[in-house]
Amino acid sequence: MPELPEVETIVRDLRRLVVGRRIETVRVRLNKLVRTGPRRLVRLVTGAEVLAVKRRGKFIVFSLSAERYLIVHLKMTGQFLWGEFQGVWPDHVHVITEFENGQALLYRDMRQFGYLLGLEAREYAEWLKSEEIGPDPFQLTPAEFAGLLRFKKGRIKAVLLDQRVISGLGNIYCDEALFAAGVHPLCPAHLIEEALARRLHEQILNILKEAIRCRGSTTRNYVGLAGVGGEYQNRHRIYGRSGETCLVCGGRISRITAAGRGTHFCPVCQPPVGVSDPPGS
């Protein structure tokens, strides 16, 4: 579910709530969500103080005392909620972390795709290597971004969704950025001219910044720590608007499948470059 702006919003809220606090108990209800094993997670995390909360791509990393790490990926429907545990597990809540005063962080995940890892320092270093998390769009200069695309023969949509190349973009913001820059989602990445690549990078940054200001997009499930959704869905110009009129040219917005995902684009504003026409068109 969540992409960079949603995860960033959650991380900022988590910082306010849990940094400097000590974890009193951890309860795991659905064991398979803890990929490093529920018992080990409980052992590593119980009694630790939260030193920092960071985002690495779409991962949330809790830095704990004694060089321990709690890592969470929310996948499609993972949520963190701030509340308390009074003996009853709310629907789809699978992990509860309690702090002093009974305040608790609840991990909720309807589809159960998300997961948690409890790691020690050396394992954390190994995990960072194995995940090959690409640079954050905010860490790249326009020239570096253009350089990333230069030798990629895959379609631009697939390249932008590949977290090893650049981390944080998902289906919504990918479609929004390609529309804003006027790039066809099926265009081979290496055929995008330098100037256009720079414009794409600029649009990615603009859109992500604005989405963070709006606390993300809520189309279905996403909510922040307080259980409230974001507002950026009201600013979507292309995502979820297939069949409707393009806000720029008035044409009809198309929907295709690209990189296995529902993909929205304007055939007029995003003309095909290096995209072979389907037979019979």
User: Is residue 3 annotated as a catalytic residue, yes or no?
Assistant: yes
Give me the catalytic one of 58, 108, 155, 199. 58
d(CA 225, CA 80): 6
CB of 47 to DNA, least distance (A): 30
Q: Are 240 and 229 in contact (CB under 8 A)?
A: no
- Beta carbon nearer to DNA, 75 or 198: 75
CB of 281 to DNA, least distance (A): 15
* β-bridge mates for residue 120, sequence order: 68
- Beta carbon nearer to DNA, 10 or 269: 10
- Beta carbon nearer to DNA, 41 or 187: 187
User: Is residue 38 annotated as a catalytic residue, yes or no?
Assistant: no
Nearest one of 115, 99, 102 to 58, comparing CA atoms: 115
User: Is residue 261 annotated as a catalytic residue, yes or no?
Assistant: yes
Joined together, the tokens standing for residue 277 give: 């026409």
Helical segments of the chain, H only: 4-18, 38-45, 121-131, 142-150, 156-161, 171-181, 194-213
CB of 165 to DNA, least distance (A): 9
The footprint of DNA (CB under 7 A) covers 1-3, 6, 32, 57-58, 73, 75-76, 91-92, 110-113, 131, 152-155, 158, 161, 163, 170-172, 216-222, 230, 257-262
* β-bridge mates for residue 245, sequence order: 252
Residues catalogued as catalytic = 2-3, 58, 261
